[in-house]
Amino acid sequence: MKSKTSTPVHVVIIKPKTGWQLIDWKELKEYKDLIYFLILRDVKALYKQTVLGFSWAILKPFIKMIVFSIVFGGIAKIPSDDIPYPLFVYAGLVPWEYFSNSLTRSTSSLISGSGIFTKVYFPRLIMPIVPCMATLVDFTIALSIVFILMFYFGYAISITIFYLPILIIIMILTAAGLGMWLSALAIQYRDVPYGVQFLVQILMYAAPVIYPISWLPESYRIYLAIYPMYGIIEGSRAAILGQNAMPWDLIGIGAISAFIMFITGAYYFKRKERIFADVA
């Protein structure tokens, strides 16, 4: 009598996750190849079929530096803490350009990527974070010009440059946190991206891009520090040029604010995620 061999049966059980988990880091790790592909796609798409290519990452802040140096440094006579105004303003423009570009692209990420996430599943949280990572390429290219300007004006690289990675992390958290907030709103309210274009212009003048913090009353600093880019820009200038002490009080308050933005942004994004496919 032949014995019957039973074929193995694979059972897949689908059940909701238990516990409170804002970001599933394990799932994001499983999609690391997709994240890499989307970052590469964003970098290539940004300068595809352009004559100057990656040179735009240098030209945009460089042209602004020239205009600001003439208008604010030359005509308005805004002080620059005894630093040549072109170098002073360009060192502030580099982190600002990263923030403004990341925020603009992150806000529109769900709208532009609706053709992808409505057809296949992957963690939607990837969408607003990818532009913040892709824009680091522009940031790195633009940052290299700072060192050329330092050499031109006779400035040596200080050991404080090693503080720069801390500021970059805070900068990414700020852009990603606001990006998650605004992208979740933009997919439902399509006028949000238009409003962001005006918002970044206002936020630039609230940050010390064209003026030093020493130009403002001391009593204002604690309130302005809640805006993370305030400490990031001033801290980046101090870390790169090494002329002023690191404003750790501003950086610390800004870091707390950036962390809160990131956590609340992720929470709001996850809460609204179920309606994305319906309103896209």
Q: Give tens-digit pLDDT for 165-182.
A: 999 999 999 999 999 999
pLDDT beyond 70 at 25: yes
Determine the average pLDDT of the residues in 207-213: 91
Full-model pTM: 0.88
Contact between residue 254 and residue 170 where contact means Cβ atoms under 8 Å apart: yes
Cβ-proximal residues to 148 (8 Å cutoff; 6+ apart), any chain: none
Q: Please write the tens of the pLDDT for every residue from 44-89.
A: 877 776 666 677 778 888 999 999 999 999 999 999 988 999 999 9
With a CB cutoff of 8 Å and minimum separation 6, the contacts of 235 are 163, 167, 246, 247, 250, 251
Task: Give DSSP secondary structure letters for 89-103.
Answer: HHHHHHHHHHHHHHH
Nearest CA to 185 out of 88, 106, 99 is that of 106
Reply yes or no on whether the pLDDT at 5 is more than 70: no
* Total number of residues shown for the chain: 280
- So where are the chain's domains? 25-279
What is the average pLDDT across 121-134?
91
